[in-house]
Structure 1
Amino acid sequence: MVKTRGRGRGKVKDKWKEKRWITVISPAEFKSKPIAYIPITSDKNALRSKVETTMFDIYQKDPQQYSINLQFQITNVTASSASTILKGHEYSREYLRSLVRRGSSTLSFIHDYTTKDNYSLRIYFIAFAQGKLNTSKKHDIRLVAHNLFLEKTKSMTYSELSQDIVEEKLASEIFNSTKKIKYLRKVAIRKTKLTRLPDDFKPPPVEEPTVEEPTVEEPTVEEPTVEEPTVEEPTVEEPTVEVDSTESSS
C-alpha cells in the first residue's frame, strides 16, 4: 500500500505580535488629551480610522456631557501616537427623547456649509417649543438659524466652529436670537458631519498629550520645642559654732 505524505503545516503567525499600540490624541481645540489606546498593523492602515468618545471624557465638568458623542478621525501617526480631527458629533437618542414633552412641537432642518478654510460639513439643527408652532414661525426660526450658520462658517475656521458647536455656543446664540419670534424650550445642533476636507489639507502634527501635574504641598514640619531643664543650686547652710560659756568666763 502506497502511503502519501500530507502537506506539512507551516507556523501560524500571531497577528497580535505584529501589531503595535498607539495613543490617539484629540485635537488642540479639544484639550490634546489621550482618548484611546489602539493596536495598529501599519501607519497607512491607521489613517482614516475613527475613534469615538464622549464630551465628558474630554472636559470632565458636567455629567450631562455624557449625552454628546464625539467622533475623531486619525490623520497622522508617529511611533507611539496619532493626531486627529473632529469627524463629527451627535447627541444620544436617549437624550433627544427626554426633551420631547406632551403638547410640545419640534422643528428641524439639515444643510451643508463650508468654513473659512474650506472644510465642508453637514449641520443637523433641531428646536423644541412648548405648544404648537405655525408654519410661518417655523420658517422664521429656520431662517434665523440658517443665516447665523452662514455668517459663522464664512468667518471661522473648522476648528473654531467645531469647538463652538460642541460647547453649545452657537445654539445659545440662536436661542437668544429667536426669543422675539417664539420662546423655545431647547435649541440644539444635534449632529454634525465632516463631509469633505480642503484640497490643501495638511494633517496637524502629533502633539504629546497634556498631563496636568497635581500640586503637591510640602508638609510643614514643626520643630519640637526643647525646654532646658532648670537646675536648682543646692542651698549650703553654714555650720553654727556654739561657744562654751565656761571657757569664756575663765
Structure 2
Amino acid sequence: MARRSQRKSDSRKVKTKQWYKVVGPEMFGKSPVGETLASDPSNLMGRVIETTLGELTNNFSKQNTKLKFRVDQVAGDSAYTSFVGHELTSDYVRSLVKRRTSRIDSIIDVTTSDGYRVRVKPSCFTVKRARTTQVKTIRNIASNIIQEKAGTLDLNQFIQEVVLGRLSLDIYKDAKDIYPLRRVEIRKTEILAGPVAS
C-alpha cells in the first residue's frame, strides 16, 4: 500500500505582486508608458521598459521608433525612468534598402554638453549606387554634424533632435549635394555612460 507523501509546510510567505505605473523620462513629458508587475519595489530598479514613440505621442506614423527606458526610481506605485536608447524597427530599415543603391552606415560615439556619452548609428540611403569616395564623404559629413550637435546640446535636447528627425534632416541637407539621397535615418542610439562626477 502506497504511503501518502506528507508535504512539508512552507513557513515562507509568498509575496503578492503589485502593479506599478511606469512614467516616461522628463524629455518625453513624463508621459505614462504603461504598467509593470513586481513583488517588491527593489525588483523594479534597473528594469528596462520598451515602448514606441507612436504609443507615447499617440502618433501612429511614429510606430517604427522603439524607445528604451530604465527604471531608476520608485515612489509609491509609480516607477520613474530614464532614457537608455532608441532603435528603428528592423522591418522599417529593411524597407528602405533598394537594389542598385547604397546604404551608408556609421557608428559615432559622441559626448553631449552635459557629459553623457552616446553611441549614434546613422544610415544614409542613396538614390543609386554611390562611388567609394562619395560614400566616404557622406559618412564624414554625418559624423561631423552629429559630433557638432552633441557638443552644443544637452542629452535631452540631443535625443529630441534624434527622435523627431531634425538631426537626420540636417545630415540630408548637407550630404545630398555629394550624391542624391532618398533618406537619412538615425537607426539607433545608446547611452554608454553618464557624466563623470568631479
TM-score (norm 1): 0.73
- Deviation by residue 1:10-69 (Cα, 9 ceiling, x = unmatched): 256433x1x3321111112212211021122333332211100011001122x2311111
CA contact (8 A) 1:86 1:162 kept: no
* Structure 2 residue 102 is the aligned partner of structure 1 residue 94: no
User: 2:63 aligns to what SS in structure 1?
Assistant: helix
Residue-by-residue CA offset, 1:125-176 (whole Å, 9 max, x unaligned) = 1111121111111111111111111111111111111111011110011111
1:105 to 96, 102, 110: 102
Aligned-pair distance for 1:8? 3.5
How many residue pairs are counted as aligned between the two chains? 194
- In structure 2, give the amino acid aligned to 1:24: V
CA offset at residue 80 of structure 1? 1.3
- For residues 193 and 8 of structure 1, the distance between their equivalents in structure 2, rounded to whole angstroms, comes to 49
Note the C-alpha offset of 1:102: 2.0
The aligned residue for residue 14 of structure 2 is 14
Structure 2 counterpart of 1:69, one-letter code: K
Using the alignment, how far apart are the partners of 2:32 and 2:176 within structure 1?
40
One-letter amino acid of the structure 1 residue matched with residue 54 of structure 2:
F
Q: Distance in 2 between matches of 1:57 and 1:192?
A: 19
Separation in structure 1 between the aligned mates of residue 8 and residue 139 of structure 2, nearest angstrom:
70
1:95 corresponds to which letter in structure 2? Y
Q: Is the 8 A contact 1:115 1:155 kept in 2?
A: yes
Which structure has more strand as a fraction of its residues? 2
Show structure 1 runs of 5+ residues with no match.
201-250
Aligned position for 2:24:
26
Q: Which residue of 2 aligns with 1:190?
A: 187
Question: What residue is the counterpart of 1:54 in the other structure?
Answer: 52
Among all aligned residue pairs of Structure 1 and Structure 2, give the percentage whose two residues are the same amino acid: 30
- Once superposed, which parts of structure 1, at least 4 consecutive aligned residues long, lie more than 4 Å away? none
Q: Which runs of 5+ in 2 are unaligned?
A: none
2:173 corresponds to: 176
Asked if the contact 1:68–1:90 (Cα under 8 Å) also holds between the matched residues in 2, the reply is: yes
Other structure's SS at 1:152 match: helix
Matched, 1:141 2:138: yes
Which SS does the other structure have where 1:151 is aligned? helix
1:164 and 1:170 in contact (8 A); partners too: yes
The amino acid of 1:38's aligned partner reads: T
| 1:6 Cα deviation from its structure 2 partner | 5.7
**Cross-structure match for 1:165:** 162
Give distance in 2, aligned partners of 1:155 and 1:41. Answer: 43
Find 1:78's aligned residue among 75, 80, 83: 75
**C-alpha contact (below 8 Å) 1:36/1:51 kept by paired residues:** no
Q: Distance in 2 between matches of 1:117 and 1:44?
A: 29
Report the structure number with the largest CA radius of gyration. Answer: 1
Q: Match of 1:193, as an amino acid? A: E
